[in-house]
Amino acid sequence: MKPSHSLDTLFADLLALQSDSSMKLPPVDLWDPEESGDMDIRVDREGRWIHEGGEIKRPALVKLFSSILKVENGQYFLVTPVEKWRIKVDVAPFFITEVSRDLRYDQQAISCVTLNGESIVLSDDHPLTIEYKPESDQPIPLVKVRGDLSALVSRSAFYQLVAWGESSATDENHAVYLSSMGCQFLLGKSV
């Protein structure tokens, strides 16, 4: 279900922040150079960029790298119009550190902020999904940032989302959902 025009108007300020975050990005989806090789860069579980074993501490450099990131066939690349370097990503290339809730006229919008300052409003275009790895029963909450790139939601931010969630119980299942921009996102369920 697409957010209605009235919801877009109601939360126009939040959507403008999100738009400002994405408007400054280069058109990496149009760039398709030959692979240049592997670069010793890894994005760890907490969204830290590690180069040759040491964390990249300059926020401007991390922001630059994250703006030229693309994923193809499950592999991550830093791309320019003439180069394409493969990097490693532990879980997701972005990390959500903050969430906030805006309530207006019985409608709710959930905003997320990544470690590098990008703003995302949970919606049909930026859904929240929960994945589970076969070796663990721990939830992996992910939010679509852009294209096929996602952000891992920090533990504290996820707990806040669960606190804002609403229970839905049937005879067999108990589920917790989170609403944002007229959409519902499943946070978890038990049988």
Structural domains of the chain in order of their starting residue, each with its CATH number: 20-89 (3.10.540.10), 94-190 (2.30.270.10)
Nearest Cα to 47, choosing from 129, 186, 152?
Answer: 152
Q: Residue 190: what pLDDT?
A: 64
pLDDT band at 44 (very low <50, low <70, confident <90, very high): very high
Is residue 164 helix, strand or coil? Answer: helix
Residue 154 DSSP code: P
More confident residue, 12 or 188: 188
- Amino acid, single-letter form, for residue 9: T
Give, in order, the Cα–Cα distances in Å from 165 to each of 21, 85, 187: 26, 40, 8
In order, the DSSP letters of 70-90 are EEETTEEEEE-SS-EEEEEES
3-class secondary-structure state, position 8? helix
Can you give the pLDDT at residue 1? 35
How high is the pLDDT of residue 126?
A: 94
Tell how many helices (H) and how many strands (E) occur in the chain: 4, 15
Q: Taking the chain, what is the end-to-end CA distance rounded to the nearest angstrom? A: 27
* Chain segment 146-188, per-residue pLDDT in tens: 889 999 999 999 999 999 988 876 656 788 899 998 889 988 8
List the one residue out of 105, 117, 103 whose CA is nearest residue 164.
103
pLDDT value of position 102 = 85
Q: How many CB atoms lie within 10 A of CB 19?
A: 12
* Rounded CA separation 174/65 (Å): 41
Q: In the predicted model, what is the mean pLDDT of residues 95-115? A: 90
